[in-house]
Amino acid sequence: MDEEYDVIVLGTGLKECIISGLLSVDGLKVLHMDRNDYYGGESSSLNLIKLWKRFKGNDTPPEHLGISKEYNVDMIPKFMMANGALVRVLIHTSVTKYLNFKAVDGSFVYNNGKIHKVPATDVEALKSNLMGLFEKRRARKFFIYVQDYEEEDAKSHEGLDLTKVTTREVISKYGLEDDTVDFIGHALALHRDDSYLDEPAIDTVKRMKLYAESLARFQGGSPYIYPLYGLGELPQAFARLSAVYGGTYMLNKPECKVEFDESGKACGVTSEGETAKCKKVVCDPSYLPEKVKKVGRVARAICIMKHPIPDTKDSHSVQIILPKKQLKRKSDMYVFCCSYAHNVAPKGKFIAFVSTEAETDKPEIELKPGIDLLGPVEETFFDIYDRYEPINNPEEDSCFLTNSYDASTHFETTVKDVLSLYNKITGKELDLSVDLNAASAAEQEAA
């Protein structure tokens, strides 16, 4: 281990593995270590016995739940946008050859006490029962504007400079009602709060276009895809990638103490009496707790069921977003459901997650609106974990820390964090203009 590396990465969570893979592909010499004896860190995937042990304190789950090893329960479950940044990163690094994807069946939004399919195009807007007749027509016009909008084509802008005009101004031009704005902002554009309304509209329009393009990709019921056997496959796929490019992975390394030189810059990592030297350290918040601050908490419930979520057209995999306004909360709530169709549970079993930014100490009460949508549940596990963000300056200490995972059930925020970290470490933007069809073979086979 007494060698010198360009970068040492600590923790094998998804973000750390992506960074490690990207840096290896760039030709940097990378050492990747984890104090645990398994991949994934906070974003690991557990079988039933491990899940039971973690939340119930013993390792004897009831027999009626089925065979333990047929469960792959992701601790941080998130769907991927089919044309989104994470899929582009996977293609850029060729990790897609280690994974099989399957399209996700449904994308829904909670509105006035009911679940509705999220309409993403002008045609769907006209069919949607989210809106009355006149509102449908207004929404259709707005969707057509978004669909036809091209940054380079001034004719498609209809006199609006979206880099200057706010989303609120664009929406008021089309006279959309608050409930419509709510589902567009939170379930289509995937904003987590309402600050986007007073920001330039270009970001929201791009997000809506990404959703519609991802939806069109597989002609399915949602814009999302998800790996067979769950996300636990991803860190391992990146570990393989890193090895191909000469990176070194070491699990089960106790302590992993970051060493600093006299100027305060990270210069190596010590474990079991050996020190590996490096120029930069990348890690999750747990490895350098003095360089992060707590910024919030995520409350979540993990539920095992033997049926799909009611009113989702019998979808085996589904995301439901409950916008904060609908619940009179400060933050959105997310429902994620997957089943044996994605090989994450035994035949006939479904795994549902309900998550939100915690506003109290009682997750079972706070998460009730989401849990109430699930129907009968065989088993529920409740959990609250802290969210951290770095407070250090990487230019001063050469330490690059990832943010903790948020409550959302899609990857858009996670990838933003990874790409900004990559930029800080390398000083360059990652080129994500890739051939999206490179990921489709695996998806088609599994679909």
For the cut 50, the answer to whether the pLDDT of residue 352 exceeds it is: yes
pLDDT in tens, 154-210: 999 999 999 999 999 999 999 999 999 999 999 999 999 999 999 999 999 999 999
Whether residue 397 is found in the same domain as residue 378: no
E-state strands within 241-396: 248-250, 257-260, 266-271, 274-283, 292-305, 318-322, 333-339, 350-357, 379-390
83 shares a domain with 9: no
Among 183, 217, 251, identify where a domain stops.
217
Give the tens place of pLDDT for each residue, 32-91: 999 998 888 888 899 999 999 999 999 899 999 999 999 999 999 999 999 999 999 998
> Would you say 120 and 211 are in contact if contact means Cβ atoms under 8 Å apart?
yes
Number of domains in the chain: 3
Look up the domain containing 420 and give its range. Answer: 4-43+231-292+389-446
Instruction: Identify whether residues 88 and 206 lie together within a single domain.
Output: no
Which helix (H) or strand (E) segment holds residue 6: the answer is: strand 4-10
Q: Express each pLDDT in 221-279 by its tens digit.
A: 899 999 999 998 888 898 889 889 989 999 999 989 999 999 999 999 999 999 999 99
Q: Is 441 a residue whose pLDDT tops 80?
A: no
Residue 27, number of CB atoms within 10 A of its CB: 10
Mean pLDDT of 386-392: 97
Mean pLDDT over all residues of the chain? 93
Do residue 300 and residue 287 come from a single domain?
A: no
CATH of the domain at 327: 3.30.519.10
* Residue 93 and residue 419 in contact, taking contact as beta carbons nearer than 8 Å: no
Q: Does 245 lie in the same domain as 122?
A: no
337 SS3 class:
strand
Q: Which residues of 382-404 are buried (b: 16+ CB within 10 A; e: fewer)?
A: beeeebbebeeebeebbbbbbbb
Last residue of a domain, one of 340, 368, 387: 387
Rg of the Cα atoms in the chain:
22
> Residue 155 belongs to a domain with what CATH number?
1.10.405.10
Amino acid 223: pLDDT: 94
With respect to residue 158, please indicate whether it lies within any of the assigned structural domains. yes
Backbone dihedral region of 175: left (phi > 0), alpha (psi from -120 to 50 degrees) or beta?
left
Same domain, 56 and 25: no
226 within some domain: no
Q: What are phi and psi of 293, to 5 degrees?
A: -130, 150
Does any domain span residue 244? Answer: yes
Please report whether residue 112 resides in a domain: no
Whether residue 276 is found in the same domain as residue 411: yes
Residue 288 sits in the same domain as residue 398: yes
Whether 306 and 319 map to the same domain: the answer is yes
Threshold 0.75, pTM exceeds? yes
pLDDT of residue 315: 95
Q: Is 183 found in the same domain as 37? A: no
Does 347 lie in the same domain as 236?
A: no
Residue closest to 73 by CA, chosen among 352, 388, 322 = 352
Residues 284 and 395 both lie in one domain: yes
30: CATH: 3.50.50.60
The number of beta carbons lying within 10 Å of the beta carbon of residue 285 is: 21
